[in-house]
Amino acid sequence: MKSTATRWVLTTMIAVAVQLSPANSESARAQEPASAASAAAAPVPVAPALAPTDLQTKDLRKPVVVPKPVVIPYDQQVYRVSISLGVDSEAGFPDRDAQRMVDQLRGLVTSRIGIWWRCDVRVAPAGEPLSRAMLSQRTAESWNVALNSHSVEKHFSLTLDRSGSEYRLSGVEWDSASQTVTSILDRTTFDRRLVPALAAGLVFELFRPLVSIEKVVENRVELRIRGGEYLPPDLSLVPYAAGDHVTTFVRHLGKNRELKRMQHIPWTTIRMDLVERGYLEGTIISAFKAPLAGSRRRMEMLGLKIRPMLSQTQVQVIPRGKPQSPMAGYRVEVLDRLETKDDKVTDRVTLRTDRDGTIVLPADPEKPIRYLIAYSGLAPLAKAPVYPGHVARLVLEAPDDSPRLTVEAETELLESELVDLVARRAVIMARARGAAKKADWNSVADLEKQVDALPNLEQFLARIEALKNPAVQVAKQNKDRAQESRIVRMCKTITDTAILHLDPLKVKEFHVEIAEEKKAK
């Protein structure tokens, strides 16, 4: 940690120095060719067209050399940001004050962020939210519709209204690349003079820096921060630090680099291990084996910094393909680190899903990532890492366990019948032996008949088979091999028990014993 901190200080000092001459800030890594994806995402500067007069003066036979578009490395691409401040009419700020506030906000943002952002700050135009209530009505989709036509990468929508006697500033950040919007973040103050500073702070708290995933080797990744080379004048606004987490998503692009499809990688985050200005190294934390593959042609693999804005996250566990039947009452264990063969993680919090199949995970800055294991009985059904407080609600799909539960229920009942049967048989045999000692052969004959009338091994095995086959078929249809093997295992256990206790030889031996007793008397 200490060395990382030292490295950060050095990096920051270098960054401050470089900021004075951004054109010369070509570090070794920055010179690495940017990926096609990064280039595509960035605004491509067009080569200055040659004036006709110049053409006339040049040799016409000489082929015109159109310089290749300069690809700005991802970590040198600045953000185009718009900030709008909506002021509620009930807030007590006349237009003139609102405009003054916006001006102050602009000054504060620009001074703190520097050239990293190309920022436009204004009073909220018509149609944009003016209060928190209005803000809460807007969804990611509505923001996408409203803002996709604007050439901004980030949009911050702030509102100012009154909550009792307090001024309440609320805001969201919309991200163009991920087409997502943050949760609403609120800040309050009694002092109206503090509103611009509070608004600036809110903007930076909402800001989720983008990263591009450059290289993936097993669970290690290399990333670049957008505009990471432009360190902000305010050092507290350095985009990433070791230990930060990033969510990932993939942008599938068309021929003209238009967005075709957006794919968020679920249950996957990247933990930053090394931060060196615009370059990052991290570790993938995922429910999947290989969730990331690095950016490719027409495919951008990006990430957004996770800023936990909520106090908790609800995780709903549902069976795959059956969202209407959430898995209620299931045991979910919460671990603060991944379980391995050597480290069994004994310190676990055990929760039970409610009727809606939901558990609630409180956000904890000390332990940002929690690992969930959903169980059915003793068998784990699903494992996933979760960043509590990042999103309000997550849905975890687990394999449908109903065929196995049916088998479990029936085998349990068969087992109970088996115990009952064995106990009854033992009692009847004991009574028969007792009667034989007293030479009460009528009773002995009657009891022998009772023993023979009890269900035998063959009948039991037939019942087990009748139970096993359909369940295995269902598991095969679902392509759930784990479940199939569990079903087979359960049936085998009960079969073994039945064979052990219902061995027909025991009944035969009993009859022989009685016959010998009779002969002896």
The residue written with tokens 């991200």 in the block is 175
Residue number with CB closer to other proteins (50 or 405): 405
| Residues 6+ away with beta carbon under 8 Å from 498 | 414, 418, 457, 460, 461, 464
Query: Applying CB under 8 A, does 419 fall inside the site for other proteins?
Result: yes
CA distance linking residue 169 with residue 201, whole number of Å:
11
Residue number with CB closer to other proteins (121 or 334): 334
Q: Which of 118, 192, 383, 431 binds other proteins (CB under 8 A)?
A: 431
Q: Name the segment binding other proteins (CB under 8 A); options: 184-192, 287-295, 426-434, 453-461.
A: 426-434
Query: Applying CB under 8 A, does 478 fall inside the site for other proteins?
Result: no
| Strand-pair partners of 155 | 82, 174
Output the CA angle 259-263-265, nearest 5 degrees. 150
Query: Applying CB under 8 A, does 500 fall inside the site for other proteins?
Result: no
CA distance linking residue 216 with residue 289, whole number of Å:
13
Cα–Cα distance list, 363 to 223, 261, 313, 366 (Å): 26, 31, 7, 9
Q: Name the segment binding other proteins (CB under 8 A); options: 24-32, 63-71, 99-107, 424-432.
A: 424-432
What b/e string do you get for 125-148 counting C-beta neighbours within 10 Å, with b at 16 or more? eeebbbbbebbeebeeeebeeebe
Query: Applying CB under 8 A, does 9 fall inside the site for other proteins?
Result: no
CB of 392 to other proteins, least distance (A): 17
DSSP secondary-structure letter at 287? S
Q: Per CB under 8 A, which of residues 399..418 are in contact with other proteins?
A: 401-402, 405-406, 408-409, 412-413, 416-417
Instruction: Give the total of residues touching other proteins (CB under 8 A).
Output: 29
Query: Applying CB under 8 A, does 356 fall inside the site for other proteins?
Result: yes
Query: Applying CB under 8 A, does 427 fall inside the site for other proteins?
Result: yes
Query: Applying CB under 8 A, does 376 fall inside the site for other proteins?
Result: yes
Q: Are 91 and 161 in contact (CB under 8 A)?
A: yes
Query: Applying CB under 8 A, does 420 fall inside the site for other proteins?
Result: yes
In the chain, the N- to C-terminal Cα span, in Å, equals 90
Residue number with CB closer to other proteins (405 or 439): 405
Query: Applying CB under 8 A, does 459 fall inside the site for other proteins?
Result: no
Q: Which two tokens stand for residue 170?
A: 């609320």
Cα–Cα distance list, 392 to 141, 164, 183, 330, 395 (Å): 17, 26, 8, 21, 11
E strand intervals along 256-366: 259-276, 279-286, 299-305, 312-319, 331-335, 349-352, 358-362
Query: Applying CB under 8 A, does 354 fall inside the site for other proteins?
Result: yes
CA distance linking residue 433 with residue 441, whole number of Å:
10
Q: Per CB under 8 A, which of residues 275..294 are in contact with other proteins?
A: none
Q: Per CB under 8 A, which of residues 310..329 are in contact with other proteins?
A: 324-325, 328-329
Query: Applying CB under 8 A, does 355 fall inside the site for other proteins?
Result: yes
Query: Applying CB under 8 A, does 173 fall inside the site for other proteins?
Result: no
Query: Applying CB under 8 A, does 346 fall inside the site for other proteins?
Result: no
Query: Applying CB under 8 A, does 452 fall inside the site for other proteins?
Result: no
Task: Name the residues that contact other proteins, by CB under 8 A.
Answer: 324-325, 328-330, 352, 354-356, 376-377, 401-402, 405-406, 408-409, 412-413, 416-417, 419-420, 423-424, 426-428, 431
